[in-house]
Amino acid sequence: MATGKVYMIPIPIAEGTLHTLAPEIPQCTLELRHYFVENLRTARRFLKSLHPSLVIDNISFSEIDKHNGADLATFRTWLKEGYDIGIMSEAGCPGIADPGAELAAIAQQMGATIVPLTGPSSIILALMASGLNGQSFCFNGYLPVKEPARSQRIKALEQISKKENQTQLFIETPYRNNVILEDLLKNCMPSTRLCIAVNITAADAYIKTKKVADWKTNKPVLEKLPAVFLLLA
């Protein structure tokens, strides 16, 4: 039985938006000395932005490897030894479209207490602002990169959306934002509603919902910024 607690700590999803975090996060991060993080540089910068006088070298970090995943043995050892552990995504909420989910699952198996802290999730915020169905929705992560799998997937999601009246959400690597927009406009029905949500929570956030037919006549050029795409047929 693990005696340490696990804190799921959200990270701002846009620069200069610490105000989007729950007020208990500064106190929690002031006390924690063990972290599993998706990106070490991001985590260190975040902690210093909250606590400029914090001695980072006194904190133990384990970075989640992009290919091999987290050091699960260390995670289990820290919990068994009674250390409280913070889990941080690179941006947004850990465990949501994020490798922190595997660590949360292990903590559950070990009987550890898991404390999810409140912060921004681009997926939920985009859905809130889209005007699309918030009662039934599905997040699909990334779409296939190559054709014909990409177009086939878009058409399949549109058919599911139409049949179930279900909002379909997905994300893309920022430099491919304009490519996925072209593919959506090419493959979706004119009447399908499409929401484009870019750089959510930032001062220049862009969140618009229109029918595909209307997007075709007024197509934006998207910046290379984090984006969420939502469709409802």
Find the helix packing angle between 72-80 and 100-109, rounded to 10°: 40
Per-residue pLDDT, 99: 87
Report in angstroms the alpha-carbon separations of 82 from 3, 32, 33, 34, 212.
Answer: 5, 12, 12, 11, 53
pLDDT at 122 over 80: yes
**Cα 99 from chain centroid (whole Å):** 10
Residue ranges covered by each domain of the chain: 5-116, 122-232
Q: Find how far residue 55's CA is from the centre of its chain.
A: 28
Concatenated DSSP letters of 100-160 = HHHHHHHHHHTT-EEEEPP---HHHHHHHHH-S-SSSEEEEEEPPSSTTHHHHHHHHHHHH
- The rounded distance, in Å, linking the Cα atoms of 46 and 52 is 10
187 pLDDT higher than 90: yes
Tokens representing 100 are 């922190």
In the structure, what pLDDT confidence band is assigned to residue 3 with cuts at 50, 70 and 90? Answer: confident
Return the CATH number of 5-116, one of 3.90.1150.10, 4.10.490.10, 3.30.470.30, 3.40.1010.10.
3.40.1010.10
- What pLDDT, on the 0 to 100 scale, is given for residue 98? 86
Determine how β-strand 113-116 pairs with β-strand 137-142. Answer: unpaired
CB of 62 within 8 A of CB of 75? yes
Quick: pLDDT tens for 32-81.
999 999 999 999 999 999 999 999 999 999 999 988 899 999 999 999 99
CATH class of 122-232: alpha beta
The Cα 61–Cα 67 span in angstroms is 18
pLDDT at 2 over 80: no
| DSSP 8-state secondary structure symbol assigned to residue 162 | H
